[in-house]
Structure 1
């Protein structure tokens, strides 16, 4: 597959280990990279991001084939596998770096994100209002190597079993036709 046929999505839904694990399993997703975006310094190290001093969100950059999975489908998976109603937190992970955000790469992505949020609110999918930020994509900084492919390398870690396993299972249950064969 040639690079120009792929599109890019940048999402933040709490810990990037979780979102990476979910989207690695989606048909049409060719690459998922953990990193940081939405902040105010260049090349932020993880320690600074989680300290809350940089303004960045733990994020993933997804390269996907829109002929196999659409941006809209990715967003429905995103909303189904994290809590978009909690401001700056996901479960026990707290801080602005764990915020829910969609960093759009085009006007079409912005419109799609806003429309998906509107539909979810209208359908009362969540008890509380969605607080997901919709912002233009900025510079994406790749996280240190130890954060890449974390779930696949550490499935027996308590965090993976308690926090990530249910998200992966929810993807499989809710979007089974879009899930790759197990990694």
Structure 2
């Protein structure tokens, strides 16, 4: 079996990021969770209060022979606005920050390169935080694959479905069979 690599990204509510990366060829597993804070074993309620220091993130296990880290980064940047500090739309707080938790020096260098490329698309500065990967805490089970299990829920149909449609259109060659 090929080496399995890990990528950890935060870009607002983890439900959307989770839903998108589950569709990518070469992604072996996606887990929603929390990273970058000071509370041990944080709960969703603690994260929502914004006092744990954690960001809502997804941990992605992937086969680099099928999808590269740079490709995952490019996909990540299409799923949120990296110029919004500590928020994404109506989701406000440090738990919704744009952040890349890099797992090694190569990931750090590639993330810096992609951020520089992304900056060319925005008038405002890209505020995506780069942090060394730290303890990842898996979110509660009901957050895992939330969109698939709740696609008719209001937030999902209004906020996530349009992002997934755009994601599907842009990255169709790199995705599994259509799931919108």
Aligned residues: 179
Distance 2:123 2:21 in 1: 25
Deviations 1:65-85 (A, max 9, x none): 101100000000000111111
Residue 166 of structure 2 is aligned with which of 165, 170, 173? 170
Distance 2:153 2:122 in 1: 30
1:1-183 correspondence runs (5 A): 2=1, 5-121=3-119, 124-183=120-179
Unmatched 5+ stretches in structure 2: none
Q: Describe the SS at the equivalent of 2:64.
A: coil
TM-score (norm 2): 0.97
Q: Describe the SS at the equivalent of 2:56.
A: strand
Q: Does the CA-based 8 Å contact 2:50-2:93 persist in structure 1? A: yes
TM-score (norm 1): 0.95
Distance 2:133 2:166 in 1: 27
Distance 1:127 1:75 in 2: 20
Unmatched 5+ stretches in structure 1: none
Distance 1:165 1:127 in 2: 27
Distance 1:43 1:65 in 2: 28
Q: Does the CA-based 8 Å contact 2:168-2:178 persist in structure 1? A: no
**Once the 2 structures are TM-superposed, how far is the Cα of residue 174 of structure 1 from its aligned partner?**
1.0
CA RMSD of aligned residues (A): 1.0
